[in-house]
Amino acid sequence: MSKSMYLNILEMTWEAYGPERIRQRRSVDGNGRMDLHAYSRVLTVLSCLIHGGRMGELTDLWKRMMTECCREIAAMRGKNEADYAIREIMFSLKLMKETLPDWEEAKPEWLDELRKIDPCVQYNYWLREGGDPALLHNVNIYNMTGEYLRETEGLTDTTSYFAKHWPIQMTRFDENGMYRDPGCPILYDLTTRCQIQLMLGFGYDGPFAAGIDQCLRRAGLATLRMQSSAGELGYGGRSSQFLFNEALVAANAEYEARRYYREGNLALAGAFRQSARLAVEAILPWLRMQPPHHIKNRYPVAMKYGEEKYGYYDKYMATLGAFLAIGYWFADDCIPEAACPAEAGGYVWQTSASFHKIFANAGGYSLEMDTAADPNYDATGLGRIHRKGAPTELALSAPLSPGTKYGLHEGVGRIPAAIGAGWKERTSGTIRYLADCSSLASRLVVLEESPDQVRFAVIYEGEELPGGFVEERYELTGSGVMMDIVLGQTKDEPLYIRIPLLATNGRDEALTELTTGRITVQLHEYLYSVALPSAAQVRIGQFRYGNRNGEYVLAEAQATGNHVRLAFAITNLKEDE
In a domain, 242, yes or no: no
Helix, strand or coil for residue 399? Answer: coil
Distance CA(571)–CA(372), nearest Å, equals: 31
pLDDT of residue 137: 94
Q: What range defines the domain where residue 437 resides?
A: 345-572
In a domain, 87, yes or no: no
pLDDT of residue 106: 96
In a domain, 270, yes or no: no
pLDDT of residue 191: 99
Distance CA(566)–CA(247), nearest Å, equals: 35
Domain of 567, CATH number, reads 2.70.98.70
Mean pLDDT by 10 residues, the chain (577 residues): 94 94 86 91 98 98 98 98 99 96 96 98 96 93 99 98 98 99 98 99 98 99 99 98 99 99 99 99 97 97 95 93 98 98 99 99 99 98 98 99 97 98 92 94 98 98 95 98 96 96 99 98 98 96 99 97 97 85
Distance CA(130)–CA(140), nearest Å, equals: 17
In a domain, 222, yes or no: no
Query: Number of folded domains in the chain?
Result: 1
In a domain, 145, yes or no: no
**Cβ pair 343, 42 in contact under 8 A:** no
**Cβ pair 384, 420 in contact under 8 A:** no
Task: Decide: pTM greater than 0.95.
Answer: yes
Count of beta carbons in the 10 Å neighbourhood of residue 62 = 22
In a domain, 288, yes or no: no
pLDDT of residue 439: 86
In a domain, 449, yes or no: yes
In a domain, 491, yes or no: yes
**Cβ pair 136, 169 in contact under 8 A:** yes
